[in-house]
Structure 1
Amino acid sequence: MTDTDSVLGEPRIKRKFIIAVDYGTTYSSVSYIIVEDGQSIAEKIEDIRTIEGYDGEPENGPWTSVPTELWYPDDDYARAEETYANPANGLNHNGEDPESDLYMEDGDLPLWRPQDQVEHRVPEKVIWGYKVQDALGALDTQTGRDSRNKPILRAKLLLDHESHTQEQRDKLTPTLQYLRRKKLIKRNEDVITDFLACLLRHTKEKLEELHSFSVDECDVEVVMCVPVIWNNKACRTMQWAMGSALQAAGFRTENDFVSDLFIVSEPEAAATFVLAEQIHLMKNEVFMLIDAGGGTIDVITYKVNLESPLRLEKQVAEPEGAMNGSSFINERFRTFMTHRLQTQREGVEAAEGKSIEGVVDGEDIMPKFEMNFKRRANFEKQSLCNRKYKVMGLVENKALGVLRNNVSVEYKDLEAFFRPSLLNVVGLMRSQLYKAETNNIPVDKVILTGGFAASPALQAFLLQELKPYRNVNGNPIRLILPEQHSNGAAISAGAALRALDKEHGPARNISSSYGILYIEEYDPRRFRQHRECSYPKPDQYDGIRRISTIDWIIKKDSEVAPDHTDTRELLHMFAPTRERFLCEELLYLSDTSKESHYTKYHPYNKKQYELIGKIVIDMTFLRNENIIGLTKLSTGSDHYAVKFDLHIQVMDRNLKVWGTWPPRSEGGQGERLLEGSVRYINMAAAFAPGTK
């Protein structure tokens, strides 16, 4: 059925686009499935498609993935000086700055952005994907580019906290500091948002071109892939970056809120795709997944919990990883070539009209190595490994392998580029096999996936290594290689497939607490937590002693129903001279705290929470409509007492917060929805990946 059918009087079928994003360390991909009303899941398995047609991609495509690279040219200072405006009413009703007590690392900002603040904007001249190396390769010797303004590579590692990735994060620091000083980014994670925005804008354009996609007429579910090793904060940061990017790319979102977000672990996504395409695993079978990417190599061993749909029970050994993926082969080759050309820098730069770095990154060296050799290298055929790379201005120097206008690269050189990465993969595989054997666990299969998985050199290396191995049952271990056509987008394709069927996923155990700032009467006899705070002063209005606490309404480590609802009655008091009765409610999140009644400054809560939202409700109508009158007491001072109910409801993987009046204590049944009180927060990152 086409879009013209509706014009002719036929009812338009509602279409849903499941868009899965694999934000990789070195390469990223987007896959999608179109589901129309009434279609069964079985009809869609063969319909997974992957976004292609990236600007600047090599000619021998199409390419289903794009380099996770971003560059902010030196002449682009276009980002607004200040995109985070201060709220009109900066202090809460206790006279406190709601953002002053946030626990933030240096260079970070709250992940929450108030509704009245300007949306995230991507600099117009930002260069991304395949165009980055093209732009760098075109630089001439007169460019004068600030050496600190390097391309952003492997930005995903900003969310990683493993020791083996620390060096790569450190390398990003000078460039990130430079970009912040130039007001091109506000916080480090903006580089992730900016890349995702570019990727999603391209995705939206392709969907419009190929499928007449419309944000107004189509439903969208976004699937986000995350590494197993990421903690809650990393998943949450990625979740908010995704929301900002979707909004910047023109998808329908509200205040970075993605109404339908599903999170899948990268290993499960990869396994889902590979196993759906090639093999069938039995219940209780054990397999090892080697995710050999461009940046990281991750190895994890799983036990199958359910055959169809595939569900993984648990990790049978601690996951392991290393920072030595296929992009490090490029780095070794780049260093090798730069060293060769350095000896004749003046002649080369004069002949080529660009810097040595520009020559190496230009179309005759790095792109040819990446596309024409590295992806096809097979060291079993040594004679095919010798290569020559054309560089004008070179004078022959046989000792360095330099010929006239050419650099010669031989088998022994190429083996040196590959061997450290190959040995890393094998070492991690050996370690996982040893752990499984020690625990008497029979590993039946080793599944190779990731961008590096397509390398014939790596495949041959692993096959040779596994040949003599037997598992604890004495059986050989089978190596499952990726299908040729699946290279580059297995994780995003598997994530889209996994999103089609969310049944039999993990239990809805939540790993973060959600709460509100709650003013409660001081009662040390009833609440032991109150005994650990300072003795409060009487309230200026009614003389009652109260303390400001965080009420953790949804508590971490508990199982939360998909429709769980809680209600709190809130009290605000205003002086007769106050023009407007603005009630400000602060929403908090914590990965550690779950006990209520502690003040937010108590060690139990201090630096353990994040401010994730604020609701400002105007209750002035109660006075203007003569619903409430002035309260006069013998102690304290005259005031208006405002009461209403605040409701917190879990809706699948989202949280809805809203206020109603009158409160239940006064016989209210939620008759009046309070204007401006509705707030949605995505809480998918608080559940285990794959949770329905």
Structure 2
Amino acid sequence: MGSLYSGPQLIVSVDFGTTFSAVSYDAVNPDEAAERIGLGRIRSMENWPGYRNIDGGSHMKQQVPSEDLYPMDPKFRDAADLQTRDRDSDPFDIGGLLDMIPDSDEDTDVTLFGTNVNAFNAFKWGYSVHEALSKPSTHFKRANKTLGRFKLLFDDRPTTETVRRELASTLTSLKIRKLLRNHGEIVADYLTCLLRHVKRELQRRRLYNGYQVEMVLCVLAIWSQKACRDMQVALTAAMRMADFKRLDLETDAIENLFIVSEPEAAAAHTTPLKLTKEIVQPGGDLCGSSYLDEAFRGLLRGNLKDEKHLERGQVTLDGIVENILISESEYKTKRQYDIYDRRRLPKSFYCSGLQDNHEKGFLGGCVYIRFGEMRAIFHKRLERMVGLMEQQIMGAASGDVRVDWVDTIDWVLKKGTETRLHGYASLSQGLIQPIYNHIPEGRNKGMRVGKSHYQVDYTKVIKVVDRDLRCYAIYGGEIVKKWKIDVAAASLLGSIAAYK
């Protein structure tokens, strides 16, 4: 992208995630240089349909679940306006997983699954999937197929093979029933609904009509060129279905599309700098939010497996577990639970009709999960996350590159690095220097208190401008970050994958 624009420009960044997705945007005037736009200008999309988060101030309001729910009714595409191809033309094909998702010539009697598309058997995405999964009827007749983590279908590394094969089982079922042609349609269906919402919100803010749109797509650094290309094709199909700007219908290509890796996006969020050199080969692991859910789901199923008396009518044990997982854990527990607070009592989860059993931890219609069990679920994933950071740091050390600063956005990683990464101060010749707090005087003078942390010295400059505080962090004689504090109401800085 050039530094100057010939007309009003709208930059839209799509971060399609494994568990949640987000979209950020900014309007650029013709006389502005993109390089000089600060983070305070950037906004993240909110008001996602069916938003369920309890804490209205949480940054999660800027994210939407990356999940689809397909009804077993081939007519759903007409009802949802999700035609990824013309009826008389070939489907768009992004390849991949052809050995895992075989074609089927089986003639299926679709009338077995119903022909009337209504609220029960309509296509759902995002928060509406969570709402559906919390209802017993969704799990009773299996008239729907839910898909999550389908971003991993683009990742052909051995570490994702198990997940891809699990997804392939569901995809095969959908293909047999003529609901899908390939896994690219799953992503295209999801992104179509996402972009339709984005378009409506931008139009409501009067930031769509009259603007030239530039698209930024965030991808994993470990993705292959083919994976990036497949993702681009899926986004193209979604923009066509959503009638989103900057799609050349004649060439079926996105005009002004910029693909950036997630490390580049992180660098742009942390400091106004570009990544200029890759020191260590990118790495990744399957230990994110959805794997916390998977572990907790397994724990609940194990605790409730013998409670057959709970199943009645359309209520099944699977439905009960999913309702607890979404209604109780996802929005009330997972995002606030502190695994380092040993004073915590067992956590209770409501389960209607559950009979008391002190040995199993059932009391007053609740399942009680001990602190140690909860901590183990988080800690196992935390260990793998920190392991990734260790690999990156040691890789940098082997290349004689000093790491002065580790930026961890996730609160769990912040705590994990306190207990693990300080060891590299000695192993890697001062690679990371831990800072400790000590009691300055009195009988316990010199005693270490609190947890170790890592420090980079900045010079902070605060300037009063009207009712705002303009803040600048200066390192090495250069401004590396700047932000604004609204004295009347604290402002939330948006995060975006850079458009540089």
Please confirm whether the aligned pair reaches a TM-score higher than 0.5, indicating the same fold.
yes
Residue number among 398, 403, 414 corresponding to 2:374 in the alignment: 414
Alignment of 1:469 onto 2:467: no
Residue aligning to 2:407: 447
Q: What secondary structure is seen at the aligned counterpart in 1 of 2:77?
A: coil
Tell me if structure 2 keeps the 8 A contact 1:32–1:493. no
1:151 and 2:111 matched: no
Which one of 394, 397, 410 corresponds to residue 437 of structure 1? Answer: 397
Deviation at 1:468, TM superposition (A): 3.6
Per the alignment, residue 370 of structure 1 pairs with 330
- 2:186 matched to 1:191? yes
CA distance in 2, matches of 1:47, 1:275: 15
**Aligned with 1:79 (options 77, 80, 96):** 77
Q: Does 1:233 align with 2:230?
A: no
**Aligned residue runs from structure 1 range 24-39, under 5 A:** 24-39=17-32
- Cα distance in 1 for partners of 2:139, 2:368 equals 28
Letter in 2 for 1:199: L
TM-superposed CA distance for 1:77, in Å, is 3.2
Distance 2:50 2:211 in 1: 30
Match of residue 50 from structure 2:
56
CA distance in 1, matches of 2:21, 2:431: 39
Q: 1:250 aligns with which of 238, 243, 260?
A: 243
Counterpart residue number, 2:137: 140
SS at match of 1:34: strand
1:69 aligns with 2:32: no
With over 3 angstroms needed to count, the CA separation of the structure-2 counterparts of 1:197 and 1:403, relative to structure 1, is same
1:178 maps to which residue?
Answer: 173
Change over 3 Å in CA distance of 1:392–1:74 after alignment to 2:
same
- CA offsets 1:282-308 (integer angstroms, 9 cap, x no match): xxxxxxxxxxxxxxxxxxxxxxxxxxx
AA paired with 1:50? S
Tell me how far apart the structure 2 counterparts of residues 212 and 428 of structure 1 sit (CA, whole Å).
Answer: 40
Q: Determine whether 1:339 maps to 2:299.
A: no
- The amino acid of 1:48's aligned partner reads I
Q: Secondary structure at the match of 1:398?
A: coil
Structure with the greater alpha carbon radius of gyration: 1
1:259 aligns with 2:255: yes
Identity of aligned residues (%): 30
Letter of the structure 1 residue corresponding to residue 10 of structure 2: F
The match for 1:321 among 269, 276, 284 is 284
Which position in structure 2 is the counterpart of 1:349?
311
> Within 5 Å, which residues of 2 pair with 1:38-53?
38-41=31-34, 42-43=36-37, 45-53=39-47
Q: Which residue pairs with 2:197 in the alignment?
A: 202
Partner of 2:350: 390
Q: How far off is 1:38 after superposition?
A: 1.9
Q: 1:85 and 1:143 mapped to 2: Cα distance?
A: 33
Contact 2:84–2:188 (8 Å) recurs in 1:
no
Q: Distance in 1 between matches of 2:455 and 2:330?
A: 24
Matched, 1:494 2:499: no
- The alignment's TM-score, normalised by the length of structure 2, stands at 0.75
> Which structure 2 segments of 5+ residues have no match?
1-5, 104-117, 435-452, 457-483, 485-491
What SS is found at the alignment partner of 1:465? helix
Residues 598-613 of structure 1: pairs in structure 2 closer than 5 A: none
| Structure 2 counterpart SS, 1:332 | helix
Greater helix proportion: 2
| Residue 275 of structure 1 pairs with residue 271 of structure 2 | yes
Conserved 8 A contact 2:84-2:237: no
Structure 1 residue 275 displacement after superposition: 2.2
- What is the TM-score when the length of structure 1 is the normalising length? 0.55
| Residue type of the alignment partner of 2:75 | Y
1:274/1:78 Cα in 2 relative to 1: closer, same or farther (>3 Å)? same
Q: Which residue of 1 aligns with 2:3?
A: none
Distance 1:387 1:77 in 2: 44
Report SS of the residue matched to 1:203.
helix
Q: SS at the partner of 1:375? A: coil
Extract unaligned runs of 5+ from structure 1: 1-12, 91-98, 110-122, 277-309, 502-692
Provide the C-alpha distance between the structure 2 equivalents of 1:445 and 1:60, rounded to a whole number of angstroms.
Answer: 31
Deviation per CA, 1:4-48, whole angstroms, max 9, x where unpaired? xxxxxxxxx953210000001111000000112223433554210
Distance 1:184 1:218 in 2: 36
Give the distance between the partners of 1:17 and 1:263, measured in 2 at CA: 16
Query: What is the number of equivalent residue pairs in this alignment?
Result: 411
Q: Rate the CA distance shift 1:157–1:65 in 2: closer, same or farther, 3 A.
A: same
